[in-house]
A and B are shown apart, each in its own frame.
Chain A
Amino acid sequence: MAQTIAASEVKTIILACEAGMGSSLMSVNALKKKLKKANVDGVTVLHKPARGIPADAQVVVVHKGLAGVVRNKAPNAVVVTFSHFLNDPAFDALVKAFTDNGDILDTGG
């Protein structure tokens, strides 16, 4: 499913976690920091458990190991996957979509 969404339409990014105890919190911070550094404002990063993703979510950022759970919860969301919690190229690509006014691509497979 090759879904995309224009970054300009996105107001909220959901970062999905499993237990919300550790690794995903690191990713929330890392992503917020990168957005701030690139002077991207007007987009909010929310931290939510993968099992509780709202069906109308626009963009969900999630570790590749949890992508399937997110896909089931929000079939129409653009799912962006990452492998490294702190410094993943996926975060940079996401920030770039905002700074370049580009599209956010689904990488959830």
Chain B
Amino acid sequence: MTVLSIERIRLGATAVDKLDAIRQAGDLLVSSGCVEAGYIDGMLARESTMSTYLGNGVSIPHGTFDNKGQIQQTGISVLQLPAGVEWEDGEKAYLVIGIAASSDEHVGVLSSLAEVIEDEDTTQLLITTTDPQVILTYLSAEAVEE
């Protein structure tokens, strides 16, 4: 099983607010068999104590230490919100990356994500693309150039 797969990518989504966006990113993890439904509550709890907004329109909601038992397999979901949703004061998130990690398998995807965020053109491409394959290509673990 791969960490990031087409079934965990939803493009052209809309969210009424941050909590809605987190639930949707979490639902993709639930429906694809990565986590139990209760994990989403952990994602919401974590966000209320520490924001997972990374910058450049990207946030990475995930559960807390206490939720690790609810993870069935390591997985990452991608919710694309072309219109964005306010995440922090004056900062909107357009890519919401849900994370459930019980091992280090996802570290490659996170490294790729870090590279993407450093480049505004690439980030913009991922925010606007209508082809999930583009997301897979840029965020696959192999995409990082050392």
A interface with B by C-beta (< 8 Å): 18-23, 25-26, 29-30, 49, 51, 63, 65-66, 84-87
Taking a contact as CB atoms under 8 Å apart, the answer to whether A65 and B110 are in contact is no
- If A18-B64, A19-B63 touch, does A26 touch B110 (CB 8 Å cutoff)? yes
Taking a contact as CB atoms under 8 Å apart, the answer to whether B114 and A19 are in contact is no
* C-alpha spacing A63/B113, complex, angstroms: 20
Interface residues on B, range: 20 to 34
Taking a contact as CB atoms under 8 Å apart, the answer to whether B54 and A29 are in contact is no
Taking a contact as CB atoms under 8 Å apart, the answer to whether A26 and B54 are in contact is yes
B interface with A by C-beta (< 8 Å): 46, 49-50, 52, 54-55, 60, 62-65, 67-68, 99-101, 107, 110-111, 113-114, 117
Closest Cβ neighbor of B113 among chain A residues: A26
**Interchain residue pairs with CB less than 8 A apart (10):** A19-B67, A23-B50, A23-B52, A26-B114, A29-B114, A51-B65, A84-B55, A86-B54, A86-B55, A86-B117
Closest Cβ neighbor of B110 among chain A residues: A25
Further pairs besides A23-B62, A26-B114: 15, Cβ < 8 Å: A18-B46, A19-B67, A21-B99, A22-B101, A26-B54, A29-B110, A29-B111, A29-B114, A63-B50, A84-B54, A85-B52, A85-B54, A85-B55, A86-B55, A86-B114
